[in-house]
Amino acid sequence: MKAFELADIMKRFGATKALNGASFSCNNGEIHGLIGENGAGKSTMVKIVSGVYKPDSGSIKIRGQEVSLRNPWQAVKQGIVVVHQELSLVPDLTVAENLFLPKPPLKKIKLNAQSDIEKKAAGFFADIGLKGIHPDEHVGSLTLRSKQVLEIAKAIYRQPKIMILDEPTSALSIEEVNWLSGIIRRLREEGLTVVYISHRLGEIKEFCDRFTILRNGKEVGTYRTDEIEDDEVIRLMIGRSLAATFPAKLTENKERSPAIEVQNLKSESGLSGIDLTLYRQEVLGIAGLEGQGQRALFRCLFGIERLSKGKIFINGKPVRIRHPRDAIHAHIGLTTGLVPEDRKTEGLFLDLSIGHNVTLPILNNFTKLGWINNNDERIKIKGILKKVNVDLAVIDLFANSLSGGNQQKVVIAKWMLAACNNMLMYDPTRGVDVGTKFEIYNLIRDMATEGNSVLIYSSELPELVNLCDRVLALYDGKVVNAFQGNEITEEALLSAIMGINQI
């Protein structure tokens, strides 16, 4: 029997057809992947099966019975639980309190109720093999990856019959991805159906029994993971083949001058004496397992976190970066921009228009005597959105209306418009589809070719291998090895970041 079946689903938003007669179904006890470019209809499909949207036409069957899901609560009563990309945690509550929302597990008010809740949460975490998250911690103090893990744990606690995971590993470490793999396989043996949405094709093939591809609001095929090659999957997703996923690297230029130099950087947040040089026209990669100092490095270079020791030189001159405005408005001719770890909370104002987000760092360029020259601002916005391939029709829409890939391109566009000479990019393709990744790779290489410098951390080693001119391996807050040219291989990087191949 099928766990659920959506047939001939139509969903319009104004003149846009988000789903155009799409069908999608999963068998009981199956892990079924759902893939497609940003804007293919994945999110709309999920919101229909979870009761957020009502389809304009088509039918929904749950375990063979036709249903009408008019709101999310009706979907929950059918045993459907979704882990969305957008986190739904309450930062001022503890881990345990968030786990049991909306209903605490205690039926009577007790003086030691908080302690009992935390004990129950600890027992549940032990049952599902979850480590490293303490029930009494406030969620606001957790890292992004810990919040993502807590969201998954919340969904499991509800004992769903159908669990939908939307980009569940985009912020997770290797250990946490392995934990997730183990727990969903265990739950599948107990009869759970899992819909697994990811832009990481390797995970789809590793985790899933079958997967369905969406393109332009329609399904283009459902396949067993062992019956189709990756190149064909990509062609079906984007309607064309990618002749070269990565752009050509810049020919070595020994006369390039340093753009950023750092000496013996130390911080309370994880830097233990980092030395590095980023040259002009260079894409310099940072490789490291979770928590090895890469996040602290980027935040210190942008003035979000304070250094306890060390020196930073930009364009050969010593600088003190104590605040992001020091990085953005450097007085030495070079400016720095940051594409942060979490675009939704750190890179964009979701309730502002796309246009206003793009011009925020340089709004003063369009003002005179307190008045904004809207015409000039709009011309610049259109020009930069065209360059990053974002539809000009979205200029006045809120940033939260865009897909993850387009949101990321808006973050990049913001710093390109600000003419940043040094771009700090922290996992810039996390949670975006293969087509958008290709566009971002080309934007990165174009920045370098035009004389700028890019420092990039990626959790995906193939990106570092194929995109970067040099790669530095971090371990325990230090640079432990450096690679360039043919030395940059996945095996060499993995060995270095795991503490094996170090200098």
Question: What is the per-residue pLDDT across 48-105, written as a single tens digit (0 to 9) for each?
Answer: 999 999 999 999 999 999 999 989 999 999 999 999 877 789 999 999 999 998 776 6
In a domain, 124, yes or no: yes
User: How does residue 482 score in pLDDT terms, banded at 50, 70 and 90?
Assistant: very high
Q: Which of 311, 320, 339 is nearest to 427 (CA)?
A: 339
Beta carbons of 223 and 211 less than 8 angstroms apart: yes
Let me know if residue 247 belongs to a domain. Answer: no
Q: Are 216 and 196 in contact (CB under 8 A)?
A: no
| 321 and 306 inside one domain | yes
Q: Are 28 and 1 in contact (CB under 8 A)?
A: yes
Same structural domain for residues 10 and 114?
yes
Mean pLDDT for the stretch of residues 368-380: 90
Residue where a domain terminates, one of 175, 203, 238: 238
DSSP string of 437-502?
A: HHHHHHHHHHHHHTT-EEEEE-S-HHHHHHH-SEEEEEETTEEEEEEEGGG--HHHHHHHHTTSS-
For residues 439-467, give the mean pLDDT: 93
Tell me what pLDDT residue 498 has: 78
Position of tokens 């007790």? 110
DSSP 306-321: --SEEEEEETTEEE--
pLDDT at 370 over 60: yes
Which residues, other chains included, contact 130 with Cβ-Cβ below 8 Å and sequence gap of 6+? Answer: 149, 153, 179
Local structure of residue 255 (DSSP, 8 states): T
Residue 211 and residue 312 share a domain: no
* Structural domain contains residue 249: no
pLDDT at 435 over 60: yes
Predicted local distance difference test score (pLDDT) of residue 289 = 83
Specify whether 97 is located in the same domain as 177. yes
Looking at the fold, whether 313 and 392 belong to one and the same domain comes out as no
3-state SS track over 1-35:
CEEEEEEEEEEEECCEEEEEEEEEEEECCCEEEEE
Whether pLDDT at 242 is above 60: no
pTM over 0.85: no
In a domain, 470, yes or no: yes
The mean pLDDT value for 325-353 works out to 84
Cβ-based neighbours of 24, under 8 Å, separated by 6 or more: 5, 6, 9, 34, 45, 49, 212, 214, 219
Q: What is the pLDDT of residue 251?
A: 67
Measured in whole angstroms, the distance separating CA 197 from the mean position of its chain's CA atoms is 13
Q: Give me the mean pLDDT over the 337-356 stretch.
A: 92
Sign of the four-CA dihedral 104, 105, 109, 111: negative
Can you tell me which residue has the tokens 């973050």?
411
- Tell me: pLDDT of 447 over 90: yes
Q: Does residue 404 share a domain with residue 279?
A: no
Other C-beta atoms closer than 10 Å to the C-beta of 257 total 9
For residues 423-432, average pLDDT:
91
332 pLDDT tier (thresholds 50, 70, 90)? low
Q: Say how far residue 410 (Cα) sits from the centre of its chain.
A: 14
For the chain, how many structural domains are there in total?
3
**pLDDT-derived band at 501, boundaries 50, 70, 90:** low
One-letter identity of residue 494: L
DSSP of 169-223:
TTT--HHHHHHHHHHHHHHHHTT-EEEEE-S-HHHHHHH-SEEEEEETTEEEEEE
Same domain, 150 and 264: no
* CA dihedral of residues 252, 256, 258, 264 (deg, nearest 10): 40
330 compared with 138, residue with greater pLDDT: 138
On whether residue 233 sits in a domain, the answer given is yes
Within this chain, do residues 214 and 329 fall inside the same structural domain, yes or no?
Answer: no
| β partners of residue 147 | none
* Within-domain flag for 266: yes
Residue 81 buriedness (CB in 10 A; 0-12 / 13-18 / 19+): buried
Q: What is the pLDDT of residues 398-420, one digit of tens each?
A: 998 888 889 999 999 999 999 99
Report pLDDT for 328: 83
- Using CB atoms within 10 Å of the CB of residue 475, give its burial: 0 to 12 exposed, 13 to 18 middle, 19+ buried: buried
C-beta neighbour count of 141 within 10 angstroms: 9
Examine residue 245 and state whether it is found in any structural domain, yes or no.
no
CB 497 within 8 A of CB 474: yes
pLDDT in tens, 101-139: 877 665 555 545 667 889 999 999 999 999 889 999 999
Tell me if residue 368 falls in helix, strand or coil.
strand
For residue 230, what are its two tokens? 């990756």
- Residue located via tokens 């360039």: 484
By mean pLDDT, which of 105-114, 158-167, 315-324, 427-436 is the weakest? Answer: 105-114
CA distance 453 to 455: 7
Q: Is residue 283 exposed (0-12), middle (13-18) or buried (19+ Cβ within 10 Å)? A: buried
Tell me which of 419, 453, 473 is where a domain ends.
419
Torsion, CA 343, CA 345, CA 351, CA 354, rounded to 10? -20
In a shared domain, residues 266 and 282: yes
Can you tell me the mean pLDDT for 338-349?
A: 91
pLDDT for the residue numbered 111: 46
Helices and strands: H and E segment counts in the chain: 16, 22
pLDDT at 408 (0 to 100): 94
CATH value at residue 285 = 3.40.50.300
253: pLDDT strictly greater than 80: no
Domain that holds residue 86: 2-238
* Run of H or E including 259: strand 258-266
Tokens read off for 330: 């450097």
Q: pLDDT band for 39, please (50, 70, 90 cuts).
A: confident
Is the domain of 212 the same as that of 348? Answer: no
Same domain, 386 and 469: no
% of the chain with per-residue pLDDT over 90: 60
Provide the pLDDT for residue 167.
85
Q: Is a pLDDT exceeding 50 seen at residue 451?
A: yes
Cis check: omega of the bond before 102, within 30 degrees of 0: yes
CB 457 within 8 A of CB 288: yes
Query: Of the candidates 125, 121, 66, which has an alpha carbon nearest to the alpha carbon of residue 97?
Result: 121
Q: Are residues 467 and 445 in the same domain?
A: yes
Task: Judge contact between 432 and 339, C-beta under 8 A.
Answer: no
Give the mean pLDDT of the chain.
89
Q: Which residue has the higher pLDDT, 251 or 59?
A: 59
Give the burial class of 302: count Cβ atoms within 10 A of its Cβ; 0-12 exposed, 13-18 middle, 19 or more buried. buried
Among 365, 392, 419, identify where a domain stops.
419
Query: Is 394 inside any structural domain?
Result: yes
